Amino acid sequence: MTRTALQLAALASAAVPGLDPVSVAPPEIDGMDFDVAVVTDDQQRRWVVRAPRRTAAAVTADTESRLLPLLGRHLPVPVPQPAGRAALPEGGSCLVYAYLPGRPVDPAELTGGSALAAEVGRAIAALHDLEPALLEDAGLASYTADEYRRRRLDEVDRAAQSGHVPAALLTRWEKGLEDVARWHFVPTVVHGDLAPEHVLVDGGTLSAIIDWGDACVADPADDLAWVVSALDPAGADTVVEAYAMGRGQQPDRHLAQRAELVAELALARWLMGGLAAEDTSVVDRAAAAMRDLALRVGDESTG
């Protein structure tokens, strides 16, 4: 179900003792899985309230509520910390967090040689260097390299059944996923949905990383996919170089190749998310993006 801003403010008040809402506003970035609002209370404190729209999102929120306190103790960058929760009539809970300052990073800010780009790379390295056992209490899903490759293949197969994936793109993705040599990596703790809208900056520095609902132990390339796809080459090189220098273990040699493939596969996940939410506008945009990508990679192969 979809909740109004006033309903979300009421849930925030129920979740956090002493939170008396005086205003409520939409977030900068909305999502398909949660109703989200920013609530200001009578002490001028700001809070983020997130209520799941579906059962799967409610399960994700529960895992996230256990994960975030653990991450907060071990990462050099702030992450949201649950301040309270309120039960929902249909089951599950909404979660309330203290508002973290910052705005989504503009990829154009992450330029070659910039301090911000290097800071982002080091933050991702710190996440990937976490010992998964430290987060065991969060109940994160964990995959071996081959399990994760097969999971990706299953995702492509499901997307193909929708009829929206161009044949040339489907062939390209299957070829990349069936090249087993590329998929020899040491699984790490990953954010799982890292993108510019989840990386916050404030005053020119990294201020927070948010939206941890897809975190798991899997392929480190997942968290670099947005870097290789959204940044210019010099900016991407700076992030990846800082990342490699920040890792306690040298990244595998196929990391960048997998990151490029993962960035493309994000379109299939976008499509499937739209189908699950029965959101035709998302489905249409994802399908159009895949058609554009098929044309671009086709031009590259013939150029």
> pLDDT digits over 270-290, tens only?
999 899 888 999 999 999 999
Hey, where are the domains in the chain? 17-98, 103-302
Cite the DSSP H helix spans in 180-302. 225-230, 233-246, 255-276, 280-302
Residue 91's pLDDT is 84
Residue 250's pLDDT is 92
Residue 174's pLDDT is 96
Asked if pLDDT for residue 303 goes beyond 60, the answer is no
- Report the CATH number of the 103-302 domain: 3.90.1200.10
In this prediction, residue 1 has a pLDDT band, given cuts at 50, 70 and 90, of low
Q: Is the separation of the CB atoms in 176 and 182 below 8 Å?
A: yes
Q: Is the separation of the CB atoms in 174 and 265 below 8 Å?
A: no
Region 166-185: mean pLDDT is: 96
**How far, in Å, CA of 64 to CA of 58, rounded?**
10
For 11-64, the pLDDT digits (tens) are 999 999 999 999 999 887 766 789 999 999 999 999 999 999 888 888 888 899
> Which CATH superfamily groups domain 17-98?
Phosphorylase Kinase; domain 1 (3.30.200.20)
Q: Is the separation of the CB atoms in 195 and 105 below 8 Å?
A: no
In this prediction, residue 300 has a pLDDT band, given cuts at 50, 70 and 90, of low
Q: Look at phi and psi of residue 25 and say left if phi exceeds 0, alpha if psi is from -120 to 50, else beta.
A: beta
**How far, in Å, CA of 274 to CA of 272, rounded?**
5
For 193-229, the pLDDT digits (tens) are 999 999 999 999 999 999 998 999 999 999 999 999 9
At CA 275, angle to CA 225 and CA 27, rounded to 5?
65
The DSSP code for 101 is P
